[in-house]
Structure 1
Amino acid sequence: MATPDPDPVSPRVTRLARGLKLGANSMLVTLFGDVVAPRPQAVWLGSLIRLAAPFGINDRLVRTATFRLTADDWLAATRIGRRSYYGLSEAGLQRVLHAGKRIYAGDAPEWDGRWTLVLVRGDVRATVRQRLKRELLWEGFGAIAPGVMAHPNADLASLREIIQAARAQEYVAVMEASSLEAFSLRPLQALMHQTFKLGDVADAWQALLRRFSPVAEEAAQLAPADAFFVRTLLVHEYRRVLLRDPNLPEVLLPADWPGRTARGMCSAVYGALLEASEAYLHGVVEVADGALVDAKRALRKRFTHA
């Protein structure tokens, strides 16, 4: 049985969130992706309220967000007595696992010069088109022309799942393309800069570094409640920037790309926070069946290639 918070989050640490707009829906997605996905369990609504409180999200907002996320097929609700428990739905788990491959995977693999192109038929229903585009953007694809999206290091298994989940198999063609050595790479680099708005992404990486670098050296010494807060906020903001970053190959990036430094910092800080933040979660989270599963072995594998 979880107990009341033995140590609230310190004001010094909560100041890290100053100036951020932390929505209830997106914060719960972060919590389920980082905390629940490695150990698929249903979490008591009261525990979700407790976890969200330090981020300025009250119980009413948590209740509304869980209702919406359940309606949008992110979460699955279970009722036991008078208590409601929420776990990831099958579709929600698929989404967070897809995102997790990018969030925790580290640097882009060696590039072979080939691109994966997704071509969408013009007569596809608007709802299918919108869902497909949203999921592909989360997967790191960029829209290079109307109905054409591209990725230099696409995960084909994830792409297949996305197309099937959108029920778009009859409306999507997937192709490979590669640059010809006889032509300059400069136009391609400029196209990538425009397509993925790399200037805006670089500014976002710099802002993340400014926010979290001051706490990096002391991360391993933080109290459990503070460690949980910093870990969750770090993943939340890192996810927000990374899902705008296509993780392009080195040859297509500027020499001073700040994403490299940001990834390294996030890897180090996340690892330093893991032990204490997990202790906090085991102390305050109640689940539908038994105790919160120990997932430290799986969690330590995150960012291992960053």
Structure 2
Amino acid sequence: MATRPELNTVSPQVARLARGLKLGANSMLVTLFGDVVAPRPQALWLGSLIRLAAPFGINDRLVRTATFRLSADDWLDATRIGRRSYYGLSEAGLQRCIHAGKRIYAGDAPEWDGRWTLALVRGDARATIRQRLKRELLWEGFGAIAPGVYAHPNADAGSLGEIIRAAQAQDFVAVMEATSIEAFSIRPLQALMHQTFKLGDVASAWQALLHRFSPVLADAHGMAPADAFFVRTLLLHEYRRVLLRDPNLPEQLLPADWPGRTARDLCHDMYAALLDASEDYLREVVEVSDGNLINANRVLRRRFGAGSHAEAAR
């Protein structure tokens, strides 16, 4: 697919948004596949992945190495057509993206009823099972309040069940519910959550994200396609990185000035403003193994409530 040279050029002022960030090839490709490919499961040509990654300082060698590693880790499936390689999400990779998407693109945490979900992992579980459970539970928003004890105030039972089954840990995890007793102060619980989830560090990370992206919000709606794609991907990449550390606690357990609320509002507004132009860019530069890139606007507009904002901006 031939593309106009100017279409692929990210403007210098927009490119500066990435200054000081460490953008790993594996992590960036996970962001791309989760945001671009998951809503329209197709296999992308390796050359397209190289083109999409280039503005982030990731060269073709790093992309090739990353796709190999992600395939080995059962994130991606590789398909060979002629002399070309195409990569799509594996079944396991798609499930991981669906789980992540529930947190990344969802709205605020639901009203809390005071109940906690506890996942208790047996100490005699194999190390590989414990490690996988810890990684997946922390990403799901559970906090490790003690060795082998994970707690979540708004756990999704379906997602938790899928995590346990995927780790083949049905015989090693007990799931329970707990509630606070109203006669006792909530302050120790708030302090425990602050320690468990390192909320001070998370707040600093949210502030850094706001400092980096807030200045370009006013210009987001009118950006050129290459710029819009760059900002959309970089924003999601950094948002996902911080969200991995943020448990999305109920309002009752958060400080009054919690910056995570402002960061989610920023993503809500920017994603809507960047969506149309960034999709134009993807349709122009991406080649897939079967036909054209599927139009996924209906799905994408539901992310962060983007549809209502995008339409209001027109």
TM bucket normalised to smaller? over 0.9
SS in 2 for 1:247: coil
1:209 is aligned to 2:210: yes
Deviations 1:8-42 (A, max 9, x none): 11111010000000000000000000000000000
Q: Which residue of 2 aligns with 1:194?
A: 195
1:3 is aligned to 2:3: yes
CA distance in 1, matches of 2:19, 2:36: 23
CA distance in 1, matches of 2:302, 2:237: 19
CA distance in 2, matches of 1:296, 1:216: 21
Q: Paired residues, what number?
A: 306
How far does residue 218 in structure 1 lie from its aligned partner after superposition?
A: 0.6
Paired letter, 2:304: F
Using a 3 Å threshold, how does the CA distance of structure 1 residues 2 and 111 change in structure 2: closer, same or farther?
farther
CA distance in 2, matches of 1:138, 1:292: 30
TM-score scaled by length of structure 2: 0.96
How far does residue 304 in structure 1 lie from its aligned partner after superposition?
A: 1.7
CA distance in 2, matches of 1:11, 1:51: 17
SS in 1 for 2:108: coil
Q: Which residue of 2 aligns with 1:241?
A: 242
Deviations 1:107-133 (A, max 9, x none): 111001000000000100001110111
How far does residue 5 in structure 1 lie from its aligned partner after superposition?
A: 4.6
**1:192–1:252 contact (8 Å) kept in structure 2:** yes
Q: Which residue of 2 aligns with 1:293?
A: 294
Q: Which residue of 2 aligns with 1:225?
A: 226
Q: Which residue of 2 aligns with 1:151?
A: 152
**1:116–1:175 contact (8 Å) kept in structure 2:** yes
Paired letter, 1:241: V
**1:17–1:233 contact (8 Å) kept in structure 2:** yes
Paired letter, 1:143: A
CA distance in 2, matches of 1:161, 1:78: 27
CA distance in 1, matches of 2:4, 2:66: 23
How far does residue 3 in structure 1 lie from its aligned partner after superposition?
A: 2.9
Q: Which residue of 1 aligns with 2:119?
A: 118
CA distance in 1, matches of 2:305, 2:284: 27
Deviations 1:246-283 (A, max 9, x none): 00000000001001111101100000000000000000
CA distance in 1, matches of 2:139, 2:258: 21
**1:49–1:62 contact (8 Å) kept in structure 2:** yes
SS in 1 for 2:116: strand
CA distance in 1, matches of 2:279, 2:246: 28
Q: Which residue of 1 aligns with 2:110?
A: 109
SS in 1 for 2:304: coil
Deviations 1:144-172 (A, max 9, x none): 00110000001111100000000000000
Paired letter, 2:45: W
SS in 2 for 1:208: helix
Deviations 1:49-92 (A, max 9, x none): 00000000000000000000000011111111110000011111
SS in 2 for 1:268: helix
CA distance in 2, matches of 1:224, 1:4: 12
Paired letter, 2:140: E
Q: Which residue of 2 aligns with 1:266?
A: 267
SS in 2 for 1:303: helix
Paired letter, 1:90: E
**1:2–1:286 contact (8 Å) kept in structure 2:** no
**1:225–1:280 contact (8 Å) kept in structure 2:** yes
Using a 3 Å threshold, how does the CA distance of structure 1 residues 5 and 154 change in structure 2: closer, same or farther?
farther
CA distance in 2, matches of 1:4, 1:68: 32
**1:5–1:284 contact (8 Å) kept in structure 2:** no
Instruction: Give runs of aligned pairs for residues 1-306 of structure 1, distance below 5 A.
Output: 1=1, 3-7=3-7, 8-304=9-305
Q: Which has the higher contact order (CA 8 A, sep 6+)?
A: 1
CA distance in 2, matches of 1:2, 1:156: 47
How far does residue 48 in structure 1 lie from its aligned partner after superposition?
A: 0.2
**1:44–1:285 contact (8 Å) kept in structure 2:** yes
Q: Which residue of 1 aligns with 2:312?
A: none
Deviations 1:202-223 (A, max 9, x none): 0000000000000000100100
Higher percent of residues as helix: 2
How far does residue 4 in structure 1 lie from its aligned partner after superposition?
A: 4.9
CA distance in 2, matches of 1:142, 1:171: 18
CA distance in 2, matches of 1:93, 1:156: 19
Structure 1 portions without partners, runs of 5+: none
Paired letter, 2:69: R
**1:4–1:284 contact (8 Å) kept in structure 2:** no
CA distance in 2, matches of 1:5, 1:171: 55
TM-score scaled by length of structure 1: 0.98
